[in-house]
Structure 1
Amino acid sequence: MTLGAIFKRWIERYFSDEEAVILLLVLVAGFAAIIWFGRMMAPFLTALVVAFLLQGVVSALNRRGIPHLLSVIVVFLAFISVLLTLAFILMPLIWNQLVGLVQETPRMFASGQHWLDEMQERYPNLISPDQMQSWIGVASREISQVGQRALTLSLSSLGNVLSLIIYLVLVPILVFFMLKDRDALVGFVLSLLPQKRALMSRIWNEMDDQIANYIRGKFIEIIIVGSVTFVTFALLGVPYSALLAVLVGFSVLVPYIGATVATLPVAAVAGFHFGLSEQFLYVMVAYGVIQALDGNVLAPVLFSETNNIHPVSIIVAVLFFGGIWGFWGVFFAIPLATLLKALVYAWPRGISQRGEPAAIVVEESPR
């Protein structure tokens, strides 16, 4: 069989259905638009995620007999209250702690160098002077780079204050109209799609609940893990507890990797503040308990309705989509991996291999 015949057979197997071709074009156009215009459309995409997050609350209020417009107003005012709390209470606290941590970094570095000197004196055969000087040099370069990045970020942020203000104004406005006119907006998008869309409808029905559950579940998980971490670290007297709590809270966005990465700053701050003492051990044990409860209790409860994906697939999805879209790619890595899994299963192809009639896959009505 020639290469052309193999390619033709592959095309006939996977793209013989008209709806499959249209779905492929829609997906390619959507991904291309996000890749090329994602930075420009960031306020819209952010508002879309927030509206998707709040729509469940609006629907719950509607089911209780509250009119749609009143439900939207109540949810929107609650969202604005949370946003103002973050902007005027939490963010200044985190920023002050970040500035304090950057200012204290030289003292931490000096303490770490003194600790290495003591280790070299106690165990001269284990740590040679050349190794110690190499470690100190690497640490000095990393700390100087961190300081330069922080200075660059602070200077560049001064020129983006106006953009930030516009961003904070546009997102709430977009969220309000997305919630208020949801049916009209969805109807407009559907009017752009072909009339024959059984495959797209089935895939969307499968993904809609999973994406909604994932976004809301992640939001709840971040709040719970961050709050518990802040209270625990504050009770144990750990400095920069709010900053570390935010870091630990957002670490749940990246399964397996996030917890490992967040452990390093927690251990560094606790170690420099308490030394290798019992208090340091208490902090690390408490942090380990929080991570264990999150991974074994909280996450399974919040994401029980989400399809199970192999850890290797999750890590590959985080690396791939995070490399393309940054933070949002990491945030949506699992939903996008789930979408790809649903597409692979639902795509019209070799139906006889699964023992299903082709007509069922192509013409099945949305559930």
Structure 2
Amino acid sequence: MLNVFERWYKRKFSNPDAVMLLLMLLISSILLVMWGGILMPVLVAAIIAYLLDWPVTQLCKLGLSRTYTSVLVLFGFISFSVLAFIGIVPVVTQQSINLIKEMPQIWAEGQNWLLKLPETYPDFVESTHIQNMLQGVNEKVVSIGEQILSASVSSLGDLGALLIYCILVPLMVFFMLKDKEVLTSNIADLLPKERRLIKQVGSEMNSQIANYIRGKVIEILIVGTVSAVTFAFMDLRYALLLGVLVGLSVLIPYIGAAVVTIPVAIVGLFQWGITPEFWYLMIAYSIIQALDGNALVPILFSEAVSLHPIYIIIAVLFFGGLWGFWGVFFAIPLATLVKAVASAWSTSEPVEPES
């Protein structure tokens, strides 16, 4: 057993490049775990800079200076974000409030329907089981409501952090776009000389992450817009709110689509009951999800490294548990990073000792 471990250790760690890659990953992980909260504005700025680097690069090819194009693209991005915030957030907020107000009525109708099941199917459902289940659900709902209320009160202190984001993040994005070559050179100077594998993994992940961020933002906008327009055309209540939820659901592959089906179905049932209109809604929603998974995703992420669905789900659970929203957002590129590191490590050859 010891001989097997010794041979594995010599094969994987006799190469200085492999050792440097391991140290780089360990140091980066420790920094993110220990100071991830403090560095979050920097990470958010880097994400936005990745998103905006492509239009800046394309404008620079037309002969414009990088400083001018950085200002132009960043101003356009901020203007679009502010207009979207002003146009969408108030409506979504109001629809959310209205839906919350109607939740007791929706829940009461749902309880009445469940309580009628023993009468409709006496051989399969017992009234005591339904009553016990409803009692447990009601207790859980009260507990969740208390947690939401306490979280809302505690979040008031985050307004200062939000102001810091609004000032520091755009400033950092501008300098990341404007001085991209200088910053890249400075980071390269900090890396050790034995960095062949680091460079190999870095170059592969650089294009992967940039393509993923742009593709994911485009996917959210397209799926959310099409869903909201479809729901509004069908005269579904809370169409914009549900469209936003459907758009954001693409952040979590497979799981998001399944989870967001619940509010769409609940609102449809509450509005129409089990009628043809409800089934038309579910068919339209299914078509949107099918087109997203089978047409839009292959087009937007054609250059992405293919990963098995089970690896994607594991990555969402693992990185989401570590870093919350951003862990979920970057689950696929992080899983791709793990795959790239494993591939680079497996192809690394041990360095032969000099004679």
TM-score (norm 2): 0.94
Partner of residue 363, structure 1: none
Cα–Cα, structure 1 residues 55 and 146, in superposed 2: closer, same or farther, change >3 Å?
Answer: same
**Is the deviation greater in 5-14 or in 205-214?**
5-14
Of 1, 17, 28, the residue aligned with 1:30 is 28
Q: Aligned with 2:282: secondary structure?
A: helix
Residue deviations 1:121-164 (CA, integer Å, cap 9, x gap):
22222321112102322331233233223322322232322222
Task: Tell me the CA shift for residue 298 of structure 1.
Answer: 0.3
Q: Aligned with 1:65: secondary structure?
A: coil
Q: Aligned with 2:237: secondary structure?
A: coil
| Cα separation, 2, equivalents of 1:279 and 1:156 | 42
| Cα separation, 1, equivalents of 2:147 and 2:245 | 18
| Cα separation, 2, equivalents of 1:113 and 1:230 | 29
| Cα separation, 2, equivalents of 1:215 and 1:155 | 32
List aligned pairs for 1:325-344, cutoff 5 A.
325-344=323-342
**Is the deviation greater in 51-60 or in 97-106?**
97-106
The amino acid that maps onto 1:203 is V
Partner of residue 310, structure 1: 308
Query: Is 1:189 aligned to residue 187 of structure 2?
Result: yes
Q: Aligned with 1:347: secondary structure?
A: helix
Cα–Cα, structure 1 residues 318 and 165, in superposed 2: closer, same or farther, change >3 Å?
Answer: same
Q: Is the 8 A contact 1:102 1:147 kept in 2?
A: no
| Cα separation, 1, equivalents of 2:226 and 2:347 | 48
| Cα separation, 2, equivalents of 1:149 and 1:237 | 33
Q: Is the 8 A contact 2:20 2:198 kept in 1?
A: no
Query: Is 1:200 aligned to residue 221 of structure 2?
Result: no
**Is the deviation greater in 195-204 or in 34-43?**
195-204
Partner of residue 268, structure 2: 270
Task: Tell me the CA shift for residue 284 of structure 1.
Answer: 0.8
Q: Aligned with 2:274: secondary structure?
A: coil
Task: Tell me the CA shift for residue 34 of structure 1.
Answer: 0.8
| Cα separation, 2, equivalents of 1:150 and 1:287 | 29
User: What stretches of structure 2 of length at least 5 have no aligned partner?
Assistant: none
Query: Is 1:177 aligned to residue 195 of structure 2?
Result: no
Query: Is 1:288 aligned to residue 283 of structure 2?
Result: no
Q: Is the 8 A contact 1:20 1:348 kept in 2?
A: no
| Cα separation, 2, equivalents of 1:139 and 1:279 | 29
| Cα separation, 1, equivalents of 2:32 and 2:70 | 28
The amino acid that maps onto 2:174 is F
Cα–Cα, structure 1 residues 152 and 238, in superposed 2: closer, same or farther, change >3 Å?
Answer: farther
| Cα separation, 2, equivalents of 1:142 and 1:335 | 35
Partner of residue 75, structure 1: 73
Q: Is the 8 A contact 1:43 1:170 kept in 2?
A: yes
Task: Tell me the CA shift for residue 183 of structure 1.
Answer: 1.3
Of 138, 141, 147, the residue aligned with 1:140 is 138
The amino acid that maps onto 2:230 is T
| Cα separation, 2, equivalents of 1:215 and 1:350 | 29
| Cα separation, 1, equivalents of 2:198 and 2:148 | 45
User: What stretches of structure 1 of length at least 5 have no aligned partner?
Assistant: 352-357, 360-367
Q: Is the 8 A contact 2:15 2:348 kept in 1?
A: no
Task: Tell me the CA shift for residue 100 of structure 1.
Answer: 1.6
Of 320, 323, 338, the residue aligned with 1:322 is 320
Aligned pairs, how many? 351
Of 163, 166, 169, the residue aligned with 1:165 is 163
Partner of residue 12, structure 2: 14
Q: Is the 8 A contact 1:203 1:342 kept in 2?
A: yes
The amino acid that maps onto 2:153 is L
| Cα separation, 1, equivalents of 2:53 and 2:144 | 40
| Cα separation, 2, equivalents of 1:39 and 1:224 | 31
Of 51, 59, 62, the residue aligned with 2:60 is 62
